[in-house]
Amino acid sequence: MKALLIRLWRRPRPRLRAAPELLALPLLPSPRLRIAARLFLAVILLYATELAVTGHPVAASWALLLAAAVAARRTREADKPQCLVLAADGRLFLRWRQQRMDEVQLRPASLRLGAHILLVLRGPRRTYRLLLGPDNLPPHLLAAFRRRLPETGDAGTALH
């Protein structure tokens, strides 16, 4: 496993295939991911309640702070990209609500997860992780995007 991870870490950045047309993918939140996040938040709140009832007020307050941090992170919408744009030459861009576009690079840590694709994109300011799948992207756009991805190498699920 260590050798596999070292090979993935040292690989050059994967390049998307060129195509004659531009492809714009709207970035909608995954309903499954939203349900999982809400379930996680509910479990944290339930645990904080249990701690408060059993007489651990300090630990309960820390758990409530953790729940507040998770909720605050989930509610920030201004810093999320609205669209992933694939140029005809294979370059990737993130389009924001203010019509600003930033070029991003596909990282080797991106994965194919069955019907879903987890993209790890390095931008000028930070790293973005996007989960694309049949629940948040129309099937014809997902199929067009899969055709533009590089071939899967010997790692099994990583994009190379």
Residues 49 and 21 in one domain: no
Q: What is the dihedral of CA 27, 31, 36, 40, to 10 degrees?
A: 80
Is residue 39 assigned to a domain? yes
Give the type of residue at 84: L
Is residue 2 assigned to a domain? no
pLDDT digits 0-9 by tens, 67-116: 888 777 765 655 678 889 888 888 889 888 877 888 998 888 888 888 88
Cβ neighbours of residue 34 under 8 Å, at least 6 residues apart? none
Residues 84, 62 contacting (CB under 8 angstroms): no
State yes or no: pLDDT of 58 exceeds 90.
yes
Confidence band, pLDDT 50/70/90 cuts, at residue 160: very low
Listed in sequence order, the DSSP H helices in 11-76 are 31-53, 57-75
Tokens of 52: 């408060």
State yes or no: pLDDT of 56 exceeds 90.
yes
Domain extent at residue 58: 33-75
Burial of 153 (0-12, 13-18, 19+ CB in 10 A): middle
Is residue 96 assigned to a domain? yes
> How far apart are alpha carbons 93 and 100 in whole angstroms?
10
Quick count: other Cβ atoms within 10 Å of Cβ 159?
A: 23
Residues 132 and 107 in one domain: yes
Residues 21 and 45 in one domain: no
**How many structural domains are present in the chain?**
2
Beta bridge partners of 141: none
